[in-house]
Structure formats: structure tokens, C-alpha cells
Structure 1
Amino acid sequence: MLKKQTEAKTFTCPPEDTGGTYGYSMIVNLLEGNSNNEEMDDFKERYGDFDPDEFDIDLINSHLKKVKV
């Protein structure tokens, strides 16, 4: 029987149009403080308050329970 749930915490998915895996790693570096103020201002203007650590495992599992297999 297929078990429809996730058990491990991970990062949230990247915002749209970030440049794939490479772009996402750049975003994580930026949010870890490896940027200047202008880069951070540009990022916040485009993506808002994106937080890669924001991962609601209960929300994900509730959505997965609705998936028909």
C-alpha cells in the first residue's frame, strides 16, 4: 500500500522564475547574509518575505491525503 505523506523536513520550494537549482542556491546564500543591501532590496521587492526554512509538514501531509492514487 502506498503511504501518502512526507516524514522529513526540507526546504520549501523556490519562488517562480528563480533560475532553477543554481538560482535557488544563490537565493539561499543571499538570505544567509552573503549579499549587499542593494541585492537584498531587489530580492525583497521581487519575492517578498520568502523564507526557505518555512516548510509546514502538516499542511503538506493534509494536501497529500487528498491525492487520489
Structure 2
Amino acid sequence: MGRFLSGLIVLIAVIFLAVLLFFRFTDGSFEAAGARMDVMLGAAADETGEAARDIARETDQAIDDLRDGD
């Protein structure tokens, strides 16, 4: 399990750096690349939060259905 987790962390870091370098070459500076990464990560955080709320709502609905016997 430890190898899997460390491998996953390394993979995420490599992808992050690759995207940052791509943005750096397309935008011309690390400052602009960092700004694009901030926007992208902010959008990802919003989508993740929305997905978590949807899962919680659907789980509550499933529990209510089990209690009601439907």
C-alpha cells in the first residue's frame, strides 16, 4: 500500500510539473503559468466540492429510501 501511495504522489507531482512547464512555454513566463495554474486548480476545487455535495445528497436519499422501505 505504501508503494502505491508514494507512486501516486509522484505521478501527481510529475503531471503537475509537466502542465506547469507546458503553460510556461505557451505563456512565456512562470508568472503567467502560475496564474493559469491557480485558475485551473481553483476550478478543480470547485468541481470536487460540487461532486462531494452530490455524493452526500445521493447517499442521504439512499439511506432515507432504505429507512422507508422503498
Q: Same fold (TM over 0.5)?
A: no
Q: TM-score, normalised by structure 1?
A: 0.36
Which has more radius of gyration?
A: 2
Q: Which has the higher contact order (CA 8 A, sep 6+)?
A: 1
Q: TM-score, normalised by structure 2?
A: 0.36
Higher helix residue share? 2
